[in-house]
Structure 1
Amino acid sequence: MKHLNKLLVAVLMLAGISSQAQDSNNPWAISFGVNAVDTRVSAASSLEDQFSEFFNAKDHWNILPSVSYINVSKYVGSNFSFGLTGSINKIDKFVGPRVNNQDYTVSNPGDLSYYGIDGVINYSLMNLIKSKSIDPSAHVGGGYTWLGDDARGGTVNAGLGLAYWITENVGVSYRATYKHSFDSREEASSVPTHMQHFAGLTFKFGGKDTDGDGIYDKDDTCPEVAGLKQFNGCPDTDADGITDASDACPEIAGSAEFNGCPDTDGDGIADKDDACPDVAGLKTLGGCPDADGDGIADKNDKCPDVKGPKENNGCPWPDKDGDKVLDKDDKCPDVAGTVANNGCPEVSDEVVKRLNDYAKTILFDSGKASFQQQTYPVLEAITAILKEYPNSNFSIEGHTDSDGKDAANQTLSENRAAAVKNYLIEKGIASSRLSSAGFGESKPIDTNKTKAGKANNRRVEVKLVK
């Protein structure tokens, strides 16, 4: 154990592996696992004898049943990596030579401690065989071995390895290393030539990916901004197939024809240059339409559907509905109205009363904002009246009786008023003309002590907004 500290310090400073394909993306690698020492090599009398029982682990291998080696190395380029391997073991099977062609003699020298530290130059063959996961390799190097308290000596090493990469950075590896000893002493305490086997897990690390997009900086054209592999690490925010750097509209999907900008209305003018990007128009009018063909863009035409002179803002001079409000100024040119109401008819008290007569008959499902089936004709009648006054605004108000909690009644009244408003909008009433509010039980029009009174208090009112 007295050499263990030396071993650990050396390993932590520079430990190397010899059976994993490091690269410039992940230049550092570390592996650890179990090693086995086989001294039969020094006892073999021929080359054939060397390999005859190469994997006879049961009879000849010395294995410490724990993590017994650790390695770290650095990739140096051209499929080569360099580092150190540190290992520990216990020798309880010391193999002696054959006698008269009999089996090897195996003795127990008394659980000799084994420490090894080896420099390794490894060459990966993975690129040669064009594999993404199978990684054969060859390695050479040298080291120093301590055996028990007295034996120690240098070795020259060579061997083969095989790794399988489960992921880009994690693999399982095996290597076999022949260690030729330079301890020339004849004593039994000398370090013999031997084989050492290593099996374990390998982890690669050290690659720099500043923007965290999975593309290493050395291959990333945009190393500080997360991007896509197909664009060499550059982003395409709007996913239109054009990198942000080449995209005139990087946050809105477009086409290559318009340098990455969209043409929403399909009029051949990119939205960024189109004064009316949502409506197909003419190039001569900056992409805006001219529905009536009077040479005035609809957005500047007070009468976009009727031809009119430019001096009259595109409106004809006639007053079609005869209400003495010219069509160019008439908000309701097809319905006679008043000058005070911009040519639209004014809502009378009688109309408001008619609206509320209908509104009182609106029925909801109990405790809900959904309509009962018989209510839909009433809502259609209200819609028809509102369409007669397109320039008037209305407020829909909801009320409840006093049953239940105040907060629940308040919410229910708001939801019911909103339900009526939304129905009217769905039927063509402009949302800008409508508002809704709920008053819960705060504005009763009858007593809440009778069933009939409560029924009257549960109501919807329509009010003209002046």
Structure 2
Amino acid sequence: MKHLNSILVAALLLIGVGVANAQDENNPWAIEIGVNAVDVYPVGINDDGRLPAATKGEIFDEFFNVNDHWNILPSVSKVAVSRYIGSGFVFTAAGTLNRIDKLGEVRIDEVTYYAVDGEIEYSFRDLIGGPGGWFDPSLGIGGGYTWVDDIGFGTANGIAGVKIWLAENFALSLQSQYKYAFEDTYGITHFQHSAGIAFKFGGKDTDGDGIYDQDDECPETPGLPEFNGCPDSDGDGIEDRNDACPNTPGLAEFNGCPDTDGDGIADPQDACPTVAGLAALNGCPDADGDGITDADDQCPNEAGPAANNGCPFEDRDGDGVLDKDDQCPDVPGTVANNGCPEVTVEIIEELNNYSKTILFDYDKATIRQESYSALQSIADIMKEYPNANFHVEGHTDSRGSDNYNLNLSNERAASVRSYLTTIGISGARLTSEGYGETRPVESNKTAAGRQANRRVEISLKK
């Protein structure tokens, strides 16, 4: 018997070494706490071991006679630690304590019971309910050492159990063991039953996506089960690793990129992603079919050569300058002025005939209302010369100080310029400046001369 005990201890050590090097799985560790019951009665009638045959019944006889036969310590009396080995096998090391005061229906003075056991069990969980099922029955074998009233003996154990998984990591555990005693003289063959709660732990989920690292192909990035833990940031059903546009929902045919305009060209390769176009023009449209994209075609609805920016060769205003080169294609002009009309001396004189009639409030830059028609005429003339720029000059007579006259002329010229911008003349075409009394056109010694010197003039800005 001593040799058998030595063999048993050695076997348990070997099992422990094997477990320490076993394959890791999700949540490979479990701890169980619970209560145990010892029953020495339904083990078969014989005189083997410490107990006489009178205290025993046939094998499994009154197996569930809890009240009469089971010895139960009403407290936590079992602690077990388990390690998943792999392929459905689990190794468990357990320690139990109890008090025995029933030998079948015979009452005795209470004796102590201690046991340490090692077990290897095979779980049928995956075979019955598939991975993750709630019903987890198992069968196993093991061995251990038991002390009853300080007398110890080795046992060989047959095990049947079931776990009811109430949550992924939490289970109710029920187990029965038949513990055959090796020692013929002082061993006690018996059944030991236990009930407890088990907690699994040890699985690693770095990114917290609910998929353990060993099953997670993207363990540091939260992902989805259908992509083995890898993300699909844009939710288009194409995981980011295979998605050329991972942050924009797209189509599988375009490697996850969108085709917003539906022209068969993915947006990243489409120069005009919101307007349906042609592959030959990188997805841009060509409404007139002249081979020039609408965005670069000055005549997108009329076919024309690239040399004419997509427009047909025309001279709509008949001034001898083709429309492609004509800055004023609808107004006859000169070649020298890029197809726009030139401002002549006569035009400047006409402008100034109107400007001489512009009146201001006394000693102010406010234009009087009766001058509005003259200003409108000036604007109409300027519109006929769209590429010409004009300069508005303000002048005063010599009465008053130089600074006062300069400021007043500046303000009046600026007032005229500002008014012209409100009736259709671009401010970019106009400048203004006051010259005070520095450019008289008549003598300031007479009233008529001073009146002539108080004026606004318009000149052509070169």
- Fold match, TM over 0.5? yes
CA contact (8 A) 2:41 2:57 kept: no
CA 1:63–1:337: 2 relative to 1, 3 Å? farther
Matches of 2:301 and 2:388, distance apart in 1:
22
In structure 2, the residue matched to 1:402 is none
Query: Which amino acid is 1:116 matched to?
Result: A
Matching residue within 85, 89, 100 for 2:94: 85
The SS at the match of 1:49 is coil
Q: C-alpha separation between the residues in 1 aligned to 2:69 and 2:388?
A: 109
Q: Kindly report the root-mean-square deviation, in angstroms, between the aligned alpha carbons of the 2 structures.
A: 4.2
Gaps of 5+ in 1: 1-9, 97-103, 330-335, 353-387, 393-466
Contact kept, 8 Å, 2:89 with 2:121, in 1: the verdict is: yes
Q: Secondary structure at the match of 2:211?
A: coil
Contact (CA 8 Å) 1:154, 1:183: kept in 2 or not? yes
Larger Rg: 2
**TM-superposed deviation, 1:44:** 4.8
Give secondary structure in 2 for the equivalent of 1:245: helix
Distance 1:176 1:282, change over 3 A: same
1:286 to 282, 287, 292: 282
Task: Name the CA shift for 1:36/1:341 in 2 (closer, same or farther; >3 Å).
Answer: farther
Residue of structure 1 equivalent to 2:214: 218
In structure 2, the residue corresponding to 1:199 is in which secondary structure?
strand
Q: Percent identity?
A: 53
Give, in whole Å, the separation in 2 of the partners of 1:213 and 1:60: 50
CA contact (8 A) 1:34 1:67 kept: yes
Alignment of 1:68-217 (within 5 A): 68-91=77-100, 93-96=101-104, 104-107=105-108, 109-110=109-110, 112-131=111-130, 132-148=133-149, 150-185=150-185, 190=186, 192-217=188-213
Report if aligned partners of 1:173, 1:199 keep a CA contact under 8 Å in 2. yes
Whether the 8 Å contact between 2:42 and 2:62 is mirrored in structure 1 is no
Cα deviation, 1:186-216, whole Å, max 9, x if unaligned, reads: xxxx552221111111122223334333333
Range 209-218 or range 283-292, more displaced: 209-218
In structure 1, distance between residues paired with 2:418 and 2:216: 72
In structure 2, list runs of 5 or more residues that go unmatched: 1-11, 47-52, 318-326, 332-337, 339-382, 390-416, 428-462
> Within 1, Cα distance between the matches of 2:62 and 2:280?
91
Of 230, 236, 244, the residue aligned with 1:234 is 230
Q: How has the CA–CA distance of structure 1 residues 133 and 224 changed in structure 2, closer, same or farther, with 3 Å as cutoff?
A: same
Q: CA deviation at 1:137?
A: 1.0
CA 1:44–1:146 in 2, change beyond 3 Å: closer, same or farther? same
CA distance in 2, matches of 1:146, 1:161: 23
- What does residue range 426-437 of structure 1 map to in structure 2 within 5 Å? none
- Contact 2:260-2:267 at 8 Å conserved across structures: yes
C-alpha distance 341-94 of structure 1, shift in aligned 2 (>3 A): farther
Given that residues 43 and 95 in structure 1 are in contact (C-alpha distance below 8 angstroms), is that contact kept between their aligned partners in structure 2? no
Alpha-carbon separation, structure 2, partners of 1:48 and 1:318: 122
1:37 deviation in Å?
Answer: 1.5
Which of 52, 55, 62 lines up with 1:53 in the alignment? Answer: 62
The SS at the match of 1:165 is: strand
CA contact (8 A) 2:43 2:191 kept: no
Q: Which runs of 4+ in 1 moved over 4 A?
A: 42-48, 305-309, 315-320, 347-352
Q: CA deviation at 1:83?
A: 2.7
- Quote the offset at 1:58 in angstroms: 1.8
2:42·2:57 contact (CA, 8 Å) conserved in 1?
no
User: Per the alignment, do residues 32 and 325 of structure 1 end up closer, same or farther by CA in structure 2, a change over 3 Å counting?
Assistant: same
Match of 2:38 in 1: 37
Partners of 1:124 and 1:293 lie apart in 2 by 73
Aligned residue identity for 1:268: G
**In the TM superposition, what is the alpha-carbon distance from 1:307 to its structure 2 partner?**
5.4
Q: 3-state DSSP class of the match of 1:50? A: coil
User: 1:223 and 1:248, CA in 2 relative to 1: closer, same or farther beyond 3 A?
Assistant: same
Question: In the alignment, which residue of structure 2 is the partner of 1:255?
Answer: 251
Q: Using the TM superposition, give the Cα deviation of residue 267 of structure 1 relative to its aligned residue in structure 2, in angstroms.
A: 0.8
How far off is 1:349 after superposition? 5.4
**Amino acid in structure 2 at the alignment position of 1:171:** A
Distance in 1 separating the partners of 2:199 and 2:294: 67
The structure-2 alpha-carbon separation of the partners of 1:125 and 1:284, relative to structure 1 and needing over 3 Å to count, comes to closer
Correspondence for 2:456? none
Q: Summarize deviations over 1:72-122 as a string: whole Å, max 9, x none.
A: 12222232222311112222x3215xxxxxxx3233x13x33211001111
Shift in alpha-carbon separation, 1:339–1:67, aligned structure 2, 3 A = farther
Number of corresponding residues: 320
Partner amino acid, structure 2, of 1:226: P
Question: How much does 1:130 deviate?
Answer: 4.1
Pairing of 1:412-427 with structure 2 (within 5 A): none
TM-score (norm 2): 0.59
Deviation at 1:127, TM superposition (A): 3.0
2:125 aligns to what SS in structure 1? coil
